[in-house]
Amino acid sequence: MNYFRILTGALLVGVLSVGCKQTNTEAKSEETLSIENMGRTISFNKKLENVVVFDVGAMENMAELNIPFKGMAKVYSPNFLAKYADDESIENVGSFMQPNYELVSSVNPDLIIMSSWFDKDYPEFSKIAPTIALGIAGSNYLASTKENLKTLGQVFQVVDKTDKLIENIDHKVEHMKSVISKSDAKAMLILYNSKSYSVFSENSRYGYIFNDLGIKPAVVGLEEGSDHGNVVSSEFILEHNPDIIFIIDRGLVMENRHADKKDVENPLIQKTNAYKNGKIIYLDPNAWYLAGGGYISLNMMLDELAQAYK
């Protein structure tokens, strides 16, 4: 028996085997992408085909970028995403508050994009597919929106396109700041819900309109309160007498009914400067309440705010 030949053959097989492992590892590395998200390192295939989306901001950003998704939270999706909500080829996987994990799994996703507001759902999502979380961090609305775009640019390898959208946002914000800085008007942003008023402060989810755009608040020093603002009375609103009142009608999107204008603009509200000057502006709750952190809704919000300064 030729032991030298046997030994040489074994060594050759070993070398080939190691070479194959290295090649496979390199190939796998070339096919996958890793990003840091919410303190986690998330790895997924670079070629994404079946994406499921629960974050509304991510949906609208993907829509703006013409990036398809196979599943979405259609419940309570804003009207400007109706094209996707009505598309039967896109699976309805529940709502961002109540995911249907069975339906999510049926899509066989290679990536799930969830809302950072509901991080409790991450363990279940991550059992199904790699999962990233996007959304708004506290009162850092503008910064979060741009960060969401940056993340999607990395995930879908369209950084040039997302950089352009971020540039558009920056230009629009600078223009708004310039216009607003010339006004001394003080404003109040109110969520109206079933004859109840809630005011949002500089530290709220909508704080960016004061902190980043320079809108002057009629009320200073309010605590952050909840995501639904600080509940106040008509007397409180009149006491602080805003020159501009922005109204978000929650019932329009949650109960599909318009608030009665007579209830909103009651006799006390009619004594405010805002009412007298025709500066009570009703905002689209699809953009302000249902959405968050997306390019489409942010542009809608900025356009509506600009109406008060014409």
In tens, the pLDDT along 138-161 reads 778 999 999 999 999 999 999 999
- 287's tokens: 């953009």
Mean pLDDT of 241-264: 93
Give the integer Cα–Cα distance in Å for 33 and 167: 25
pLDDT at 14 over 80: no
Give pLDDT, residue 292. 84
- CA-closest candidate to residue 124, choices 112, 134, 116: 112
Nearest to 264 by CA among 310, 199, 197: 197
Residue scoring higher pLDDT (175 or 194) = 175
Report the chain's terminal Cα–Cα distance, integer Å. Answer: 97
Pull the structure tokens for residue 180: 């607003």
**Mean pLDDT along residues 232-254:** 96
| Mean per-residue pLDDT, 289-300 | 94
SS3 for 244-303 is EEEEEEHHHHHCCCCCCHHHHCCCCHHHCHHHHCCCEEEECHHHHHHCCCCHHHHHHHHH
Q: At what angle do helices 295-306 and 56-64 cross, to 10 degrees?
A: 90
Alpha helices, H only, 65-205: 82-85, 101-106, 122-128, 141-155, 159-180
List pLDDT tens digits, range 53-75. 999 999 999 999 999 999 999 99
Poorest-pLDDT segment among 10-24, 49-63, 101-115, 132-146 = 10-24
pLDDT band for 240, please (50, 70, 90 cuts).
very high
Q: pLDDT over 70 for what percent of the chain?
A: 89
pLDDT at 246 exceeding the cut of 80? yes
- Residue with the bigger pLDDT between 212 and 23: it is 212
